[in-house]
Chains A and B, each alone.
Chain A
Amino acid sequence: MRFIYGVWDGTVIGTNSGSCGPEFGDDALDFNSGNPLLAMTGDRGFGIFSEQVSLPALLLRHCEALADASCRRCTPCRTGSVLLRDALQSACEGHGCDVDWTAVYRVAVQMRESSLCGVGRTGVVPLIGALEHFSHLLKTTAPVQDSLSSYSASTAPCIEACPAHVDVPRYIDAIRDDRPERAVEAVLEHYPLVGSCGRVCARPCESACTRNSIEDAVAIRAMKRYAADHAAVSPGVGVTLPEGPAEVAVVGAGPAGWNCAYHLLRSGHSVDIFDAEAVPGGMIRYGIPSYRLPKDLLDAESAVVQELGGRLHRAALGSDITISSLREKGYKAVFVGIGASTGQLAHLPEDSDPPAGYENGIDFLRRVHDGVAAGTPPAMHGDVVIVGGGNVAMDCCRSATRLTDGKVRVLYRRTEQDLPADHEEIEDAVKEGVIFHFLSNPCGLEVSDGRLTGVRVLKMRQGEPDASGRRSVSAVEGSEWVLPCSHLIAAIGQRVRSGDIADDEGVNKGRNGVISVNGDFATSRDDVFSGGDCVSGPDTLINAMNQGEQAARAIAARLEGRDPFSPRRRLSEILKSASLMGECRDWHPSFPRSRTPSLPVEQRRSFAEVEHTISPDAARTEADRCLRCYRLFTVLTASPIPNAD
């Protein structure tokens, strides 16, 4: 499907011109079910799919959103956006002929050339295109028929990259304004673990940051942490919950379930949460060592769910409770967030009867957690070898350096460039003395008296790239060598405890035992939803929290008899599938990224937190590096769009 006319990237596009513009798949024909997409504006221009649309009406909607989106700091956008909106208002009222469009054009170009941020610079692109090529359509003499519906949203590369679409520039702005509490509020709209996420998030936002092409991404995660560490935010007034038994049962108090409960409670639905442990946290508590995430912070930030009225019960899925038993008890909906908490061994012949000293990374990290929490971290002796290259492997090897008197090594089957772990984690591991062996894979163990004494390692060689673009690796015959060690920890993957859900519960599962869900996180069983690692496979914290949030929306809609459709999510889908968002190409001067202060290596023997918060001056300077690459999009449809407020 293509535009019948429009201006895109400065060129006229459409059926009557040479250029085509962006291509929309058939999945974009309807914005929401039964509601065709009629027109669209964005940072690269505008396009109209249907004759029903009047150009002044489309542009008025867009400029109203622009005037609203303006943060009002800089002169051109603050003053100009209002003038543009008023001009289009006149056009829609039928006085387009009387508007001085030359003056309007000058103001729009001034905004594009000199606004402080993306809102002003890109928000005027549709109007400029229209004025340059379709101005005759704006010189109205009669009021314009406008019975169409619209939805507008501003986004940015960082916002799109974040699974939860947290408004990153907004909380950076709050830091610039010396209002850390407002920064925290912006994040609390998505999850309560602000400072925790500010310490351990995998930060896809930073990977997408425009400043990567100038010098370095903005230190977004460090600023979120700064805000959390400096703001005294009260948990907020809870919404009154209905009387009687809880409406929703959440199974799993890890990031997905806990966040699902958070959002349900905030929208007025009562929740009972069940977990095999007595405290919330799941993988973020037991799988992330204290030197990265202090547990008292996690406790403090998690408490809000209980303050809002959520009740945590200790019960294990499969033994104490089942999905059916919960439904029988009267819960109107169930959310399953059991994670992927079963660690795997390294696919060695000894896996069926592992000797002492050989374990999987999840079990290891649990032992470490329990020891540290009790004040007696488990002592280890001799060399420790970790197999794997992801963040779990880094957590394991850095924990091991703090516990053993021997060396700590990591075996990774691919190359250094292929390591999936966060590269700052890798740098810290190297600083803390971990030795990396690349293109190395274990093939067997040396055992003596039932105890591990060494691991047999094969060298790997790289082959051709596979479908995902990664080069395959294969073992080099006869390259075997032995690494002496007393501990071998396999951190190569995790699985869902899918056995916790019996086959007769009516919940379909997919590959590797993950739970199958549709776009609204609903499983194959009525009123049963799921999200997090047990759906996506082992993934990031932010992914799990976001899926909990989306599932909560779907559950609330179900309970209230509403359409669960999310226009914001739909917009992201269309932006991605039609590659609509433009790149930020303006030249900007270079300013180096601030460094996060951390403990010197000699002091990293214990599990005390390694990284520290940046100073207020550093936070302010870093906030100034943010370019606010906002892009404004407006869609026009025939009928009202659900949940578009």
Chain B
Amino acid sequence: MNAIINGKNVTFEAGESILAAAKKNGFFIPSLCAFMPLDHKPGVCRVCLVECTPPSGAPCIVPACVTPMEEGMRVETATPAVRARQRMQAELLLSEHRLDCEACNRRGGCELQDLRSALGMDALCPAPQGRAGTPSAAGPLVRDMDKCVRCLRCVTMCRLQGASALRADSTGKEENIIEFTESACIRCGQCARVCPVGAIAERDENAAALDLLSSADTFTAVIFAPSAGEALKDAFAPLSCSDMEGRIVACLRHLGADAVINGDFAAGAAAEAVSAELRERLAENAARPIFSAVCPAWAAFAERNLDAPGDLFSAVRAPQMPASGLGRSDLARHFGVAEESMRLILVSPCAALKGDPNFDAVLSARGLFRLMNLSGLTPDTAAPESFDRFPAPDKLSRAGSRGEITDAVLRSLGARVRNRTEAGDIVEIEAELGSTVLRTALCFSCAKAAELAAQAAEGNSPYAFVETLACKGGCPCGGGSVSLSEKERNA
């Protein structure tokens, strides 16, 4: 179909928004709340204003993200009048935003800063009011509503995660528009991954981590949780160097880590433990499957929302490191130091393990990325080194590419996978164990897994084993991995 943008003919697909059609044809329209990775277009920030003349009417100002392009429409994205409207919208946004840029956790990656640059704003009118509220804790995260731009991306993401702990309230009574219910939060951290500004972010443990790393009295081991390495490599992807992991190890040692350990075999240890449970369940000929609870966000979801029989869930929980020989005393013994001087920093692909007492600090992959930036370290300048050797049992498997342990569980059981079908949020796996056929499911959605659990509680489950990872794409795309908006920008 055809339309006109800024006097030039453009083509577009039926149903495409003006914003999408403009982008496709190389026209920039500043925007904030629209977020394509989630197909999120609430049309609330009102920044992406354009002048539009529909074939049937007079020119009018419309937001480009929620207005479909129409055949024969004329759109102006950058006349002085349009730009003045866009700029004013940004001014109004800034008038209620606490401008704390120097200390803000989103410095350098903030979409509001980018918007200001794109609009060429220097003098601000009206002047920022800057509310003087205080940030509040929200599980492993910190919410600072004085920085919130009400884009509602976190609300959409939290709904897609199945938790709906963040919800919008448009009665106007809720001062901050967005309500947070701690009891519904599953601590995945995906909300922080989509926030365009510094309104919601993980609790910052970088200072504590740096103290630990630089202290001479302690032996600080940095442990990579399963899939953390993948998530971290993603963060540094624009540098595109070889052996990224090795270079990150080198940077960490340079920062003061006394040991850097690849803890991804802990997934294998978990798989062993789960497969033992499964073997027992199969021997009992029980009709009900076992639901894995290794993903801590899924475990939190299940605990809060499901009224399932106790034996439905595996007893194996994250973190698995202490149980698989990576506990404080094991490490102290191995490295020949006193247990009291042992400090452990976990690097995790999500936010769910923050605050876990087994570790002295828990950094998400994104958190570590920022820590390295703060310290002026980039992997491309370091020569790769290897992880500390640690006597992990060789035959323990690693997690799958998405952080799943299903294949490891089946292998440990002695079963052979013969078929795999992927449909939406579920991967169905068929495996042969001797003469029986085992069906298992790998689920990437808490909501979907809840349906499977309800099915299982009624005795109608076709599966012997169900594994659930709370985040789409699995752990490498966990709540602590590189922010979706930055990913989109760097793509």
Binding site for B on A (CB under 8 A): 68-76, 78-80, 83, 103, 106-107, 110, 113-116, 170, 173-174, 176-179, 182, 586-587, 589
B479 at the interface (CB under 8 A from A): no
| Contact between chains at B172 and A68 (CB < 8 Å) | yes
> Could you tell me the distance between the alpha carbons of A416 and B70 in the complex, rounded to whole angstroms?
36
Given A78-B150, A114-B49, does the pair A73, B96 have CB atoms closer than 8 Å?
A: no
Given A79-B93, A177-B169, does the pair A589, B70 have CB atoms closer than 8 Å?
A: yes
| A355 CB to nearest B CB, Å | 57
| Contact between chains at A76 and B46 (CB < 8 Å) | yes
Given A177-B168, A178-B167, does the pair A73, B177 have CB atoms closer than 8 Å?
A: yes
Given A73-B44, A73-B170, A74-B46, does the pair A114, B54 have CB atoms closer than 8 Å?
A: no
Query: With A76-B46, A79-B95, A174-B171 given, can you name 4 additional A-B contacts, CB distance below 8 Å?
Result: A113-B61, A115-B46, A177-B170, A179-B167
Q: B84-92, B193-201, B369-377, B466-474: which one contacts chain A? A: B84-92
> Could you tell me the distance between the alpha carbons of A113 and B46 in the complex, rounded to whole angstroms?
10
> Could you tell me the distance between the alpha carbons of A177 and B164 in the complex, rounded to whole angstroms?
11
| Contact between chains at A177 and B167 (CB < 8 Å) | yes
Given A83-B126, A110-B92, does the pair A73, B150 have CB atoms closer than 8 Å?
A: yes
| Contact between chains at A587 and B150 (CB < 8 Å) | no
> Could you tell me the distance between the alpha carbons of A179 and B181 in the complex, rounded to whole angstroms?
14
Note all chain A residues with C-beta closer than 8 A to B126: 83, 103, 107
Note all chain B residues with C-beta closer than 8 A to A179: 167, 169
B125 at the interface (CB under 8 A from A): yes
Which of B45, B66, B152, B168: most chain A CB closer than 10 A? B168
| B110 CB to nearest A CB, Å | 17
| Contact between chains at B169 and A74 (CB < 8 Å) | no
The 10 A-B pairs with the shortest beta carbon distances in the complex, nearest first, are A79-B92, A71-B170, A587-B57, A113-B61, A71-B172, A177-B168, A73-B44, A114-B46, A173-B170, A74-B44
Note all chain A residues with C-beta closer than 8 A to B169: 177, 179
B58 at the interface (CB under 8 A from A): yes
> Could you tell me the distance between the alpha carbons of A114 and B45 in the complex, rounded to whole angstroms?
10
| Contact between chains at A72 and B63 (CB < 8 Å) | no
| Contact between chains at B44 and A76 (CB < 8 Å) | no
Binding site for A on B (CB under 8 A): 42-47, 49, 54, 56-58, 60-63, 66-68, 70, 85, 88-89, 92-93, 95-96, 125-126, 149-150, 152, 159, 164, 167-172, 174, 177
Note all chain A residues with C-beta closer than 8 A to B152: 73
Contact among B46, B61, B171 for A75, CB-based, below 8 A: B46
Note all chain B residues with C-beta closer than 8 A to A74: 43-46
Closest to A83 in B: B126
| Contact between chains at A170 and B46 (CB < 8 Å) | no
| B365 CB to nearest A CB, Å | 30
| Contact between chains at B85 and A110 (CB < 8 Å) | yes
Note all chain A residues with C-beta closer than 8 A to B60: 586-587
Closest to B172 in A: A71
| Contact between chains at B85 and A75 (CB < 8 Å) | no
Given A83-B126, A178-B164, does the pair A75, B170 have CB atoms closer than 8 Å?
A: no
Closest to B81 in A: A113
Which of A78, A80, A178: most chain B CB closer than 10 A? A78
Note all chain B residues with C-beta closer than 8 A to A83: 95, 126
Closest to A80 in B: B92
Note all chain B residues with C-beta closer than 8 A to A103: 125-126
> Could you tell me the distance between the alpha carbons of A306 and B315 in the complex, rounded to whole angstroms?
48
Closest to A106 in B: B88
> Could you tell me the distance between the alpha carbons of A69 and B126 in the complex, rounded to whole angstroms?
22
| Contact between chains at A70 and B63 (CB < 8 Å) | no
> Could you tell me the distance between the alpha carbons of A178 and B164 in the complex, rounded to whole angstroms?
9
Note all chain A residues with C-beta closer than 8 A to B159: 178
> Could you tell me the distance between the alpha carbons of A110 and B92 in the complex, rounded to whole angstroms?
10
| Contact between chains at B47 and A75 (CB < 8 Å) | yes
| Contact between chains at B171 and A173 (CB < 8 Å) | yes
| Contact between chains at A75 and B89 (CB < 8 Å) | yes
Closest to A186 in B: B171
| Contact between chains at B167 and A75 (CB < 8 Å) | no
Q: How many A-B residue pairs have CB under 8 A?
A: 96
Note all chain B residues with C-beta closer than 8 A to A75: 44-47, 89, 92-93, 149-150
> Could you tell me the distance between the alpha carbons of A106 and B81 in the complex, rounded to whole angstroms?
12
| B190 CB to nearest A CB, Å | 17
| Contact between chains at A170 and B47 (CB < 8 Å) | no
10 contacts between A and B (CB under 8 A): A71-B172, A72-B172, A73-B42, A75-B45, A78-B96, A107-B126, A110-B92, A178-B168, A182-B171, A587-B62
Note all chain A residues with C-beta closer than 8 A to B45: 74-75
> Could you tell me the distance between the alpha carbons of A167 and B169 in the complex, rounded to whole angstroms?
16
Which of B54, B93, B172: most chain A CB closer than 10 A? B172
Note all chain B residues with C-beta closer than 8 A to A182: 171
| Contact between chains at A76 and B170 (CB < 8 Å) | no
Which of A73, A113, A182, A587: most chain B CB closer than 10 A? A73
| A406 CB to nearest B CB, Å | 45
| B434 CB to nearest A CB, Å | 44
Note all chain A residues with C-beta closer than 8 A to B172: 68-72
| A622 CB to nearest B CB, Å | 15
Given A83-B126, A116-B44, A589-B70, does the pair A72, B177 have CB atoms closer than 8 Å?
A: yes
| B487 CB to nearest A CB, Å | 26
Closest to B152 in A: A73
> Could you tell me the distance between the alpha carbons of A116 and B62 in the complex, rounded to whole angstroms?
10
Contact among A78, A107, A170 for B171, CB-based, below 8 A: A170
| B33 CB to nearest A CB, Å | 9
> Could you tell me the distance between the alpha carbons of A246 and B8 in the complex, rounded to whole angstroms?
76
Which of A76, A83, A115: most chain B CB closer than 10 A? A76
Note all chain A residues with C-beta closer than 8 A to B149: 75
Note all chain A residues with C-beta closer than 8 A to B67: 589
Note all chain A residues with C-beta closer than 8 A to B61: 113-114
| Contact between chains at B170 and A72 (CB < 8 Å) | yes
Note all chain B residues with C-beta closer than 8 A to A116: 43-44, 46
Closest to A111 in B: B92
| A73 CB to nearest B CB, Å | 5
Contact among A114, A173, A587 for B89, CB-based, below 8 A: A114
| Contact between chains at A587 and B58 (CB < 8 Å) | yes
Note all chain A residues with C-beta closer than 8 A to B42: 73
| B352 CB to nearest A CB, Å | 24
| Contact between chains at A71 and B95 (CB < 8 Å) | no
> Could you tell me the distance between the alpha carbons of A173 and B58 in the complex, rounded to whole angstroms?
29
| B474 CB to nearest A CB, Å | 25
> Could you tell me the distance between the alpha carbons of A69 and B171 in the complex, rounded to whole angstroms?
9
| A630 CB to nearest B CB, Å | 11
| Contact between chains at B167 and A107 (CB < 8 Å) | no
Closest to B149 in A: A75
> Could you tell me the distance between the alpha carbons of A70 and B89 in the complex, rounded to whole angstroms?
17
| Contact between chains at A76 and B89 (CB < 8 Å) | yes
| A351 CB to nearest B CB, Å | 55
| A645 CB to nearest B CB, Å | 16
> Could you tell me the distance between the alpha carbons of A70 and B150 in the complex, rounded to whole angstroms?
14
> Could you tell me the distance between the alpha carbons of A73 and B61 in the complex, rounded to whole angstroms?
18
Note all chain A residues with C-beta closer than 8 A to B46: 74-76, 114-116
Note all chain A residues with C-beta closer than 8 A to B93: 75, 79
| A262 CB to nearest B CB, Å | 23
> Could you tell me the distance between the alpha carbons of A68 and B168 in the complex, rounded to whole angstroms?
17
> Could you tell me the distance between the alpha carbons of A113 and B70 in the complex, rounded to whole angstroms?
21
Note all chain A residues with C-beta closer than 8 A to B49: 113-114
Note all chain B residues with C-beta closer than 8 A to A586: 60
| A10 CB to nearest B CB, Å | 15
> Could you tell me the distance between the alpha carbons of A504 and B164 in the complex, rounded to whole angstroms?
63
> Could you tell me the distance between the alpha carbons of A79 and B149 in the complex, rounded to whole angstroms?
11
| A623 CB to nearest B CB, Å | 11
> Could you tell me the distance between the alpha carbons of A78 and B47 in the complex, rounded to whole angstroms?
14
Note all chain B residues with C-beta closer than 8 A to A113: 49, 61, 85
> Could you tell me the distance between the alpha carbons of A76 and B44 in the complex, rounded to whole angstroms?
9
Note all chain B residues with C-beta closer than 8 A to A176: 168, 170
Note all chain A residues with C-beta closer than 8 A to B125: 103
> Could you tell me the distance between the alpha carbons of A379 and B57 in the complex, rounded to whole angstroms?
58
Closest to A628 in B: B170
